[in-house]
């Protein structure tokens, strides 16, 4: 609570007070609101065949490891939200894109842009490093905080469990997440363009034509690439089915089958090679291809789907952490390089629990040790997909 008051203070440009926090007893998660009757319930989930069994069972976070200073909110799968819950989430994102920028990043017009610009500025320092998964955890949790505290959103950040959509057997164009009426809109029309990394079977590249994030209702204000100058343009998508298929239960199981944090996060990112699967790449390049916003390493948070994709990666991490056999180590240990790809620790050494990350002006700096447990300064948990 106190910590997030400091975030609010940073939001309002106030000085951050550092009074010592008293840890209350671990509160129970907020009960998920009763699902409204919803005739349009997701077909992808309903059609899920039991093909691949998750390697790890659903965990129950133990209260003895919980330092939460508040009552944890419960993140749910996008598929499981009612249409009303979906439209409230989307309305909150649209609201954030109307709130005046606070980051000082040149092209940022609004707070949605502040997140995109902050990611863009740090892109060279937060991928293929030991802090990758925790930096993105903090980033998404701060976005969730802003949606709730600036835009009146009362739910938690939903996650996109692409492994379920994959198991549905439906073509991705038919996945409910891409619905123009109850989702984020779909692919852009095909457009020829550069494909320097040889993304296979790219099928779009143009502007998302309909839905809540179609141009000019919604604009991506910076990029492409590392430029943070003002350059309003449409949200683009460029579906690549072969790369979207990386987001499967089989590949999650492979990431899960690791003994410690360092091996886990390394498998989560794997290598930047479009012939080798990695689940982080699935949502980015399966949806973003070569010309789509979410496939742009700098500006991927310019696509609102970024936050649902990263929430799912975070859920995969969370589920791995809370397995009994991984505790308590998984709530205290970090490793992996400070310098991207320095896995042999030749240039910069490994991150440690006291390693500080920052997300610019959006929230106070935080040590990795404070982010390992989602019920510490952060305050959320997950509902089973």
Which CB atom, from 4 or from 178, has the smaller least distance to ligand NAG? 178
Q: What are the residues binding ligand NAG (CB under 6 A)?
A: 166, 169-171, 173-174, 226, 245, 248, 250, 262, 335-336, 345, 349-350
Which CB atom, from 183 or from 336, has the smaller least distance to ligand NAG? 336
- Residue 373 Cβ, how far from ligand NAG at the closest point, in Å? 19
Which CB atom, from 85 or from 296, has the smaller least distance to ligand NAG? 296
Q: Which of 374, 355, 344, 327 has its CA nearest to residue 128?
A: 344
Nearest-CB residue to ligand NAG?
262
SS (H, E, C) the chain: CHHHHHHHHHHCCCCCCCCCCCCCCCCCCCCCCCCCCCCCCCHHHHCCCCCCCCCCCCCCCCHHHCCCCCCCEEECEHHHCCHHHHHHHHHHHHHHCCCECCCCCCCCCEHHHHHHHHHHHHHHHCCCCCCHHHHHHHHHHHHHHHHHHHCCCCCCCCECCHHHHHHHCCCHHHCHHHCCCCCCCCCCCECCCCCCCCCCCECCECECCCCCCCCCCCCECCCCCCCCCCCCECCECCCEHHHHCCCCHHHHHHHHCCCCHHHHHHHHHCCCCCCCCCHHHHHHHHHHCCCCHHHCCCCHHHCCHHHHHHHHHHHHHHHHHCCHHHCCHHHCCCCCECCCCCCCCCCCCECCCCCEECCHHHCCCEEHHHCCCCECCCEEEECCC
- Residue 283 Cβ, how far from ligand NAG at the closest point, in Å? 13
Which CB atom, from 158 or from 262, has the smaller least distance to ligand NAG? 262
Which CB atom, from 154 or from 174, has the smaller least distance to ligand NAG? 174
Which CB atom, from 166 or from 236, has the smaller least distance to ligand NAG? 166
Which CB atom, from 171 or from 194, has the smaller least distance to ligand NAG? 171
Which CB atom, from 37 or from 171, has the smaller least distance to ligand NAG? 171
The residues near 325 (Cβ < 8 Å, ≥ 6 apart) are none
């Amino acid at each position: 609570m106190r910590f997030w008051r400091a975030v609010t203070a940073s939001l309002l440009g106030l000085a951050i007070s550092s009074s010592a926090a008293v840890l209350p007893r671990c509160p129970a998660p907020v009960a998920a609101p009763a699902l409204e009757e919803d005739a349009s319930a997701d077909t992808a989930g309903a059609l899920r065949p039991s093909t691949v069994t998750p390697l790890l069972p659903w965990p129950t976070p133990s209260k003895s490891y919980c330092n939460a200073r508040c009552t944890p909110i419960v993140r749910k799968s996008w598929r499981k939200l009612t249409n009303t819950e979906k439209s409230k989430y989307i309305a909150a994102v649209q609201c954030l894109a109307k709130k005046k920028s606070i980051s000082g990043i040149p092209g940022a017009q609004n707070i949605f842009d502040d997140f995109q610009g902050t990611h863009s500025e740090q892109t060279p320092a937060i991928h293929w490093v030991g802090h990758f998964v925790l930096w993105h955890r903090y980033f998404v949790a701060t976005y969730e905080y802003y949606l709730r505290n600036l835009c009146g959103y009362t739910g938690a950040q939903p996650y996109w469990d692409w492994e379920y959509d994959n198991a549905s057997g439906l073509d991705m164009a038919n996945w409910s997440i891409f619905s123009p009426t109850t989702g984020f809109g779909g692919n852009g029309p095909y457009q020829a363009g550069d494909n320097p990394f040889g993304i296979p079977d790219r099928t779009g590249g143009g502007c998302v034509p309909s839905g809540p994030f179609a141009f000019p209702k919604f604009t991506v204000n910076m990029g492409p690439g590392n430029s943070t100058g003002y350059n309003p343009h449409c949200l683009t998508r460029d579906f690549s089915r072969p790369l979207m298929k990386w987001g499967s239960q089989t590949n999650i199981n492979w990431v899960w089958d690791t003994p410690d944090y360092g091996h886990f996060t390394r498998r989560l990112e794997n290598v930047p090679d479009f012939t080798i699967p990695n689940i982080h790449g699935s949502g980015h390049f399966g949806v973003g291809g070569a010309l789509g916003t979410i496939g742009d390493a700098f500006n991927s948070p310019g696509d609102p789907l970024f936050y649902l994709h990263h929430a799912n990666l975070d859920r995969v991490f969370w589920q791995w952490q809370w397995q009994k056999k991984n505790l308590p180590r998984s709530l205290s240990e970090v490793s992996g390089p400070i310098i991207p790809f320095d896995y042999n620790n030749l240039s910069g050494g490994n991150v440690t629990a006291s390693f500080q990350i920052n997300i610019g002006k959006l929230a106070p700096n935080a040590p990795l040790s404070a982010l390992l447990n989602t019920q510490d300064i952060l305050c959320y948990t997950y509902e089973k997909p």
